[in-house]
Amino acid sequence: MRILLASPRGFCAGVNMAMESLELAIERFGTPVYVYHEIVHNRWIVERFRGRGVVFVDDLSEVPPGSHLLYSAHGVSPEVRRQAAERRLQAIDATCPLVTKVHREAIRFAREGYTILLIGHEGHDEVLGTIGEAPESIVLVGSADEVDRVEVADPERVAYLTQTTLSVDDTARIVDRLRRRFPKIEGPPRNDICYATQNRQEAVRRLAREADVVLVVGSRNSSNSQRLAERARAAGVPAHLIDGPAGIDAGWFTGAETVLITAGASAPENLVEDCVARLRSDFGASVESRKVRDEQVHFSLPRELRRASALPAGNGQDRDDDP
């Protein structure tokens, strides 16, 4: 067996920033630290942090007043921020900057009187946060077939935005359908689908043609991981989404000579390494790394933690002279 290790894979800059933020919050403030929703959509990561005293909540009523609360990489709505302020929670905003960009676009289009067609998955944390920025102006569109059923107040004042973790190809089809129905539709200045999502999908698209089986390391509630498996299947290659080596079924590889392994943007590299080790042990597999694109993106920590890091450990108060 030959393993092709796709690159780029795994953590993106937004996930790295969110993870570093939570690590530093634990170090500076101790536990419990509360996180609104999962820090990232990965079961292994969530359980590891839970074991260290992090409490993940879906309702701010579960957070004691005055506690430290971290917003996950997926972002939150203004209503969540209002509730946090009302409960005097010490909020740390670890929203991915690329998600924040979509929020700002939603606010701008709403102020200019547009109906915003948000392309995304119903119920996803990121979608809920974006809709919360302008709930009266946003209509969710989940597929190309839904485009024809969309109702807008003024067909001349329509804009579209997208969730950052969607399939590039599926989104392009939906946007094309929207442009045919609403010729004057406006879009974001730059593509909302994040660089990491696009790069990982491109790597699978280019490398899957060489593989007999594709393994995607990632959790089932991870949108970008799901899209990687779909991308491989669209190329006619069997693909399996797994949390780690325990999810591997030896029966998948009957007659398989080449296995492509990649990982969603919220999947840690140690799980990829464990999967490689499993295939090496069971099948004597060799490994070949295949880089499709370089990534050199880094996001700064939230300002709340940049301020806190300038203070002695155990003191989370902002300094009056903080620049």
What's the pLDDT score for residue 283?
Answer: 95
What's the pLDDT score for residue 307?
Answer: 72
- Does residue 311 register a pLDDT over 90? no
Residue ranges covered by each domain of the chain: 2-11+195-291, 13-96+299-308, 98-181
CA distance 35 to 235: 38
What does the pLDDT look like over 193-242, one tens digit per residue?
A: 999 999 999 999 999 999 999 999 999 999 999 999 999 999 999 999 99
CATH architecture for residues 98-181: 3-Layer(aba) Sandwich (3.40)
Strands 33-36 and 68-71: parallel
Q: Using 50, 70 and 90 to split pLDDT, how confident is the model at 316?
A: very low
Which residues share a beta bridge with 245? none
Could you give the residue numbers annotated as active site? 126
Q: Which amino acid is at 159?
A: A
Q: Using 50, 70 and 90 to split pLDDT, how confident is the model at 47?
A: very high
Contact status, residue 108 vs residue 189, Cβ threshold 8 Å: no
Q: Does domain 2-11+195-291 have CATH number 3.40.640.10?
A: no
What's the pLDDT score for residue 309?
Answer: 59
Which residues share a beta bridge with 54? 33
Contact status, residue 195 vs residue 220, Cβ threshold 8 Å: no
CA distance 215 to 278: 12
Strands 213-217 and 90-93: unpaired
Among residues 109, 92, 103, the alpha carbon closest in space to that of 36 is found at 92
Give me the residue label for tokens 């694109």.
Answer: 293
- Report the share of the chain in percent with pLDDT over 70: 95
Contact status, residue 269 vs residue 15, Cβ threshold 8 Å: no
- Report the share of the chain in percent with pLDDT over 90: 93
Per-chain mean pLDDT for the chain: 93
CA distance 217 to 260: 11
Please indicate whether the domains covering 13-96+299-308 and 98-181 agree at the CATH topology level.
Answer: no
Residue range 65-71: average pLDDT?
98
Q: Is 321 helix (H, G, I), strand (E, B) or coil?
A: coil
Q: Using 50, 70 and 90 to split pLDDT, how confident is the model at 306?
A: confident
Class of domain 13-96+299-308: alpha beta
